[in-house]
Amino acid sequence: MSDSTSVRINQALYEQAKQDAMQEHRSIAGQIEFWARVGRAALDNPDLPVSFIAESLASLSEQREQSTLFVPRSARQCGVTE
């Protein structure tokens, strides 16, 4: 179990987090925490596009059983699948 702390945030930010959380299948707190991790990583890595950071962090949280093996297009065209 993780520790939690209550914080006050702007109502508009809360509503946006609520919308995005529903779309991304996260809790509202989880969505805000995700945004914080993306923001921190973006500040730590200013040369990387924010979209790349967000997608990378999201993929790290996926369960391995639900992931699919990446096969480069060139390998698929040659009939190689592994």
Model pLDDT for residues 30-41, shown as the tens digit of each residue: 999 999 999 999
Q: Which residues contact 80 (CB under 8 A, 6 or more apart)?
A: 71
3-state DSSP assignment of residue 1: coil
pLDDT tens-digit readout, 18-65: 999 999 999 999 999 999 999 999 999 999 999 999 999 988 877 777
**Are the CB atoms for 69 and 77 separated by under 8 Å?**
no
pTM for this entry = 0.68
Q: Where are the domains of the chain?
A: 11-62
- Predicted confidence at residue 43, as pLDDT, reads 95
From residue 29, alpha-carbon distances to 3, 16, 19, 57 in Å are 12, 12, 12, 16
- For residues 35 and 72, which has the higher predicted lDDT (pLDDT)? 35
